Structure 1
Amino acid sequence: MRALQLAPLLRNMFAGGAACALALAPGLVPAHHPVTARLALADDGECTYPARPIRSEPWSLQRVMLDQLWQNSQGEGVSVAVIDTGVDARNPQLKDAVDKRDGFDLIDTKGDGTNDTVGHGTKVAGIIAARPAAGTGFVGLAPRATIIPVRQNDDQGNGNAGTLAQAIRKSVAEGAKVINISQDTTGGPGPDPALTQAVQYALSQDVVVVAAAGNDGTGGQQHTTYPAAFPGVLAVGASDRNNERADFSQSGPFVGVAAPGVDMVSTVPIGGQCVDNGTSFAAPYVAAVAALVRAKHHDWHEQQVVAQIEQTAQRVDPGHNNFIGWGVVDPVRALTDDAKPIDEPVPDRSPTQGGAKVQPAALTLGETPQQRAERTATYALCSAAVLVAVIAGGAVVVRDARRRRTTT
């Protein structure tokens, strides 16, 4: 089986501002940028495990009316498989979210998927389903969803397309209704056949597959990344605070939606939170929305869930573009603008569709020569009248002044 290489995009900024890059062995590498395996930018410039709690509410949550969102769904009853570097259930916000019984480890066959020496998978899981906790404003978007921890990769690059395919199939067998893959593959002329078949199998089993688009988009470069580019997979790019594409976010016709992926707060091993960047953390934001939709609409199939997320995204164009897909995901609208399921997103209607046509304003040709002459004459007459009034007023003032001097 051909081993595909995932671009080594693990970086982080230390407190002094120096960048540290971690190059991993050929295989699959978490698709995020920029972070390192063990360090991530936190409020003090450095993150260790455990980390200090971040008390403020992250911007990615401030943009969502959580009370309104959770009136509709909190993801209860939906299992989300996080195929990653494992999920550390020791973090108090993940203790009740992680299902160790269904978790599995493809690197250490005796493991249950909760050994995360990198921290990447723990961050991904937190964005999806971290439980509320005192002392922090961070919480997962689907705080009652269940995480199936899957350790398929590590800081040695032991994951490859084959193990990813195996993880997808086993996640389906363990009951996942949503699968999050914050990884991408490069190095081959096309997608790996085993990975292709595994994704097709998951979709056929009514599983929503969400994947990070990748982080090679700086300068507008476009690359096709897998599994994000497989038909039926919801590929997620990263957006910033202005709902614009993050400069690193991979663009291309396969991008389905964008989601916050800059300065993303999330859980880390043992406890606490750190901040990170990348499409790796935009993908679970969307996977959480998928879990919310699935919990509310048990009878919707996976294609309808994906279409709902794409249709209700905040758009900058009437339809799809290669940078943020159908738009930036809108969790509240996805849960409220849901009167009936749809099978695919459609472009916004133009002003001439479905109603009265917009009537153009009457065309004017400007002044005729005669109108211009009349206007000029009017201006001249008014100016002359003003001048006469000024002169007359001045004469009266002079006369009165002379009379006062004579009297004196």
Structure 2
Amino acid sequence: MTRHRTVRAAAALALLTGAALTGGTDTARATGAQCAFPAEPIAERPWALQRVRLDQLWEISTGAGVAVAVIDSGVDTRNPQLAGAVAADRGTDLTDDEGDQTTDRVGHGTRVAGIIAARASDDTGFVGLAPDATVIPIRASDADGEGDVATLAAAVRHAVRADADVINISQDTDRRLAEDSDLRRAVDEALAADVVVIASAGNDGADGEPGETFPAAYRGVLAVAASDRNNERAPFSQSGDFVGIAAPGVDMVSTVPLGGQCVDNGTSFAAPYVAGVAALLRAAEPDWTAENVVAHLQQTAERAIPGPDAHLGWGVVDPVRALTERPTVPPTEPVPDEAPPAAPAPDVPDLVLGETHAERAERLGTYAVLTAAVLTAVIAGVALVRRDLRRRRA
């Protein structure tokens, strides 16, 4: 079947990392990133997890009972960290490629799934944010990491039928779609079914120009930008008013086909970071609606300004704060932070001005003149007295 390929994975950052993957076999190799399938395990805890107090987080929720649909290039269950995380029977393959929804020739979907729900392993510090959540694998892109809008719409509908609680879409198109497009209708169906829909914002932001990508820019979809270690926008991350939140997207460690982990960059990997937190929150607050979950994630995000901006949305997602600061009445939309109270007026004493340099010079000059006059008078008086005394003696 010939398809018009307008949807692309949001992670192929060859310009930044040389990590454009070649398709075709399970031993595909990332030419710049030196990542083979399988890969060597990465022992260290990744920086994006070091910033989270995971023990505190998992005391509240591990995502148990929550299903996250990963609409992507497939999820390879041969990676041991994903073997128990994937419900293959609830997924589907919408491509014409060989294999099924557990076949991932480019490794993209396997990376995305790992960030969400990879199980802990003794040989690596990497683990998914929601290690007890279930991944529903939906293969909608081919061995080149590309798909089309019609397939993406079908994938969203399958996720709804499979009872997904969260949908992660790490793909985008910058082609403006009609408001009544099939993809728009599929997204609306998911939102009506109370599903949290999360999509990557895209990686075409290096020129600094704001724009829109789809489905991230659709109303109701939580569009995720990529942030760096300093909580600033990653240079490649697409900016625009549609951005709703940000998450780490630079040097992201995750699972790859057959086993092990590799490092990659992109909003593709920021989106599942948010999806993992959403899974934790849905497990902790089963009565909250999807709208409540999205608003709370935005409200508790870490930001430098009171409200949103076009680069990071409402800020960088804060997993611990999102789980530990849950309000009794869940929000339906985020609101700007209150401005700090005005500081009291300082009690400043009246200003007493001293003399200027010129005034001081004038004062000292006056003193000198008066002193000279007094001395002159004294000397003159003494002279008169001495003169009188001499006259009297004569």
**Smaller-chain TM-score range?**
0.7 to 0.9
Q: Give the letter for the 1:350 counterpart.
A: A
- Of the three residues 201, 215, 222, the one matched with 1:227 is 215
Q: TM-score, normalised by structure 1?
A: 0.81
Taking a change above 3 Å as real, the CA distance of residues 78 and 374 of structure 1, as seen in their structure-2 partners, is farther
| Paired position in structure 1 for 2:343 | 358
- Cα deviation code 1:27-60 (max 9, x no counterpart): xxxxxxxxxx944489xx5110000000000000
Equivalent residues of 2:21, 2:31 under 8 A apart:
no
User: Is the 1:40–1:274 contact (alpha carbons within 8 Å) kept by the matching residues of 2?
Assistant: no
Matching residue within 234, 257, 271 for 2:259: 271
Give the aligned CA root-mean-square deviation in angstroms. 2.8
Q: Are 1:321 and 2:306 counterparts?
A: no
Aligned residue type for 1:178: V
Pairs within 5 Å for 1:7-406: 10-12=12-14, 19=18, 38-40=28-30, 45-108=33-96, 112-156=100-144, 159-188=147-176, 190=178, 193-340=181-328, 341-352=330-341, 357-361=342-346, 368=353, 370-372=354-356
CA change 1:364–1:215 in 2 (3 A) is farther
Shift of 1:359: 2.2
Give distance in 2, aligned partners of 1:71 and 1:161. Answer: 40
Residues 155 and 219 (structure 1), Cα distance of their counterparts in 2 relative to 1, 3 Å cut = same
CA distance in 2, matches of 1:23, 1:270: 16
Q: Is the 2:223–2:244 Cα contact (8 Å) retained in structure 1? A: yes
Counterpart contact for 2:224–2:243, Cα < 8 Å? yes
Rate the CA distance shift 1:239–1:38 in 2: closer, same or farther, 3 A.
farther
Residues 122 and 269 in structure 1, CA contact (< 8 A), matched pair in contact too? yes
Please give the alpha-carbon distance, in whole angstroms, between the structure 2 residues aligned to 1:289 and 1:295: 10
Q: 1:318 to 1:130 in 2, by over 3 A?
A: same
Distance 1:261 1:18 in 2: 13
Letter in 1 for 2:241: P
Structure number with bigger Rg: 2
The runs of 5 or more residues in structure 1 that have no matched partner are 25-36, 381-408
1:155 Cα deviation (Å)?
2.9
CA distance in 1, matches of 2:360, 2:225: 61
What is the distance in 2 between the residues matched to 1:18 and 1:349?
40
Shift of 1:194: 0.2
Distance 2:180 2:141 in 1: 17
Letter in 1 for 2:6: Q
Residue 161 of structure 1: how far off its partner (Å): 0.6
Contact 2:20 2:31 in 1 (8 A): no
| Same amino acid, percent of matched pairs | 56
Contact 2:78/2:258, CA 8 A, preserved across alignment: yes
Work out whether residues 20 and 30 of structure 2, in 8 Å CA contact, stay in contact via their aligned partners in 1. no
Q: Is the 8 A contact 2:226 2:267 kept in 1?
A: yes
Deviation at 1:265, TM superposition (A): 0.1
CA distance in 1 between partners of 2:147 and 2:102 (Å): 16
Q: Given that residues 184 and 225 in structure 1 are in contact (C-alpha distance below 8 angstroms), is that contact kept between their aligned partners in structure 2? A: yes
CA contact under 8 A between 2:5 and 2:147: conserved in structure 1? no
Tell me, which stretches of 5 or more residues in structure 2 are unaligned? 365-394
1:163-213 per-residue CA deviation (whole Å, 9 max, x = no partner) reads 100000111101100000000012346467000000000000000000000
CA contact (8 A) 1:4 1:188 kept: no
Rounded Cα–Cα distance in structure 2 between residues aligned with 1:119 and 1:90: 12
The whole-number CA distance in structure 2 between the counterparts of 1:117 and 1:208 is 27
